[in-house]
Amino acid sequence: MIQTEIDLARPDYLPESFNRAILSGALFTGQVPDKVLLAGTGGGSTARYFGNRFPDVVGDAVDLSPIVLDIAQRFFECLNGEYWQLIEADIREYVKNCPTRYDLIVMDIAVGQASPDWITGPLFLNGC
Residues with active-site annotation = 108
With beta carbons less than 8 A apart as the criterion, state whether 11 and 48 touch: yes
Percent helix, percent strand, percent coil in the chain, to nearest 5: 40, 15, 45
Task: Read off the DSSP letter of residue 41.
Answer: -
With beta carbons less than 8 A apart as the criterion, state whether 119 and 107 touch: yes
Cα(72)–Cα(78) distance, rounded to whole angstroms? 5
